[in-house]
Amino acid sequence: METEPARVDTSRGGARSFRYFDIVMVAFVAILLLSNVIGAAKLSSVAVGWWPQGWWPAPDGAFIFGAGILFFPISYVIGDVLTEVYGYQRARRCIWVGFAAMIFMAFMSFVVVALPAADGWENQPAYEAVFGQVPRIVLASILAFWAGEFVNAFVLAKMKIWTAGKALWSRTIGSTVFGQAVDSAIFYPVAFLGEWETRAVLLVMVTNWALKVLWEAVLTPATYLVVNRLKHAEGVDIYDTGTDFSPFASTR
């Protein structure tokens, strides 16, 4: 028989160690970095001939979206798991780790691309095309991640208290609605306004937000499974009743 996880209120204090926290954090950061390297700047289009002409979100008969949408939302699902299982304080630590990792990734990409190519190595243009990063896209990605993740974690932690830990689906989807809205509202205008047509920026921004929320809803059963397994494995159910929600507060 499985032991029910014990409720832990952060207002009572007390630090403890966890078996799987580090693994979840590594998965969170890995997916975050790979999604930004591989798919952030690629604009994709999928034709939908059956869609009514002129209707949003495919007014020209094709859905236009950022390619990173396919995998990046998984980092938000893992972010939900971190806050739900381990609490806002540890989720905050993961967000800062991810933030630092993104800055280092951008710096490393800049240095490696800038290094002079050896004589006879003819792949520099292709290498630059893949790993070269426009500074404004890098800035947009880092800012959007930081703000969106903290909004996501804050909303989920607060909703957990308000719902007394019930209706997990409402917290995961609700937090994603707000977190991804902030993420998309920062990333696309900062990264592409002036480079793309304003209409395209707005269309991709809203479409990506809707797709991310839809992704969260689709992955809800998996979120339930992972959350329940981790809570029982760790033996806790953390409520952020006494947490300082400032992103800059010290994390124990």
* pLDDT beyond 70 at 210: yes
User: Of 81, 12, 76, which Cα lies nearest the Cα of 240?
Assistant: 12
pLDDT interval class at 132 (50, 70, 90): confident
CB 87 within 8 A of CB 240: yes
What pLDDT score was predicted for residue 17?
Answer: 79
* pLDDT beyond 60 at 14: no
Percent of the chain with pLDDT over 70: 81
What pLDDT score was predicted for residue 223?
Answer: 93
What pLDDT score was predicted for residue 58?
Answer: 62
pLDDT interval class at 52 (50, 70, 90): low
Of 140 and 127, the structure prediction assigns the larger pLDDT to 140
What pLDDT score was predicted for residue 212?
Answer: 84
What pLDDT score was predicted for residue 215?
Answer: 87
Look up the pTM and report it. Answer: 0.84
- Which CATH code is given to the segment(s) 6-239? 1.10.1760
Of 63 and 233, the structure prediction assigns the larger pLDDT to 233
The CA distances from residue 246 to 93, 141, 144, 146, 147, in Å, are 12, 21, 17, 13, 12
What pLDDT score was predicted for residue 12?
Answer: 57
Fill in the DSSP letter of residue 116. P
Domain segments of the chain: what residues? 6-239
* pLDDT beyond 80 at 3: no
Average pLDDT of the residues of the chain: 85
Which strand (E) or helix (H) includes residue 237? strand 236-239
Average pLDDT in the 95-123 region?
Answer: 91
